[in-house]
Chains A and B, each alone.
Chain A
């Protein structure tokens, strides 16, 4: 079983919709959970990180961690065409290494 599993998509939604992106992870010891956004032919950009369970909000973005089910989510409200990108979930393992999911390609349709 891979440490981080993520549906690669693509996911297409109309502009203004709420987007839900999800990942599962295997090791209950993980404590830090991150979401990165990557535009085509660019390096990943850190969007948000959360520690342990709960929600964290930053503008239109909300990250959610459910440690009981080993499930992490990113919600994007009022989605914009500029949100079209690949979204990578990631965890920090005990050796301070980041393990990434495969990424979900998101298309926001104008």
Chain B
């Protein structure tokens, strides 16, 4: 257990529905990252926060995706109007600012869109 938790662990939804995932970081880590991983691929960067500020978003993150970290602690990732192509593992990772290469991952949320 890395100390990073994600909820839910699994989510099955129908196409067109909205879903929201939550990540609770290691408390002293002020950087929080979201990744997406599909079968047979490594994790792909989606977005990251430094405290409550969202510093960068990948071009992979369409307008249907939004992420927040309102108080610089937990973060949520919302997907609106889900599509079958959104089916993937969504991973959260956290790090300290001075050690961005030491990212600790949560267990992930596996999303299946029917």
Interface positions of A (Cβ within 8 A of B): 4, 6, 8, 32, 34, 36, 41-46, 49, 88, 90, 92, 95-103
Ordered by A's residue number, 26 sampled pairs between the chains whose C-beta atoms are within 8 Å are: A4-B42, A8-B40, A34-B101, A36-B105, A41-B110, A42-B107, A43-B2, A43-B91, A44-B43, A44-B91, A44-B105, A45-B2, A46-B103, A46-B104, A88-B43, A95-B56, A96-B100, A97-B45, A97-B48, A98-B101, A99-B45, A100-B42, A100-B43, A101-B42, A102-B41, A103-B40
- Chain B contact residues: over half helix, strand or loop, or mixed? loop
Report whether B110 and A98 are in contact in the complex, using a CB–CB cutoff of 8 Å. Answer: no
**Which B residues lie at the A interface, using CB under 8 A?**
2, 4, 33, 40-45, 48, 56, 91, 93, 100-108, 110
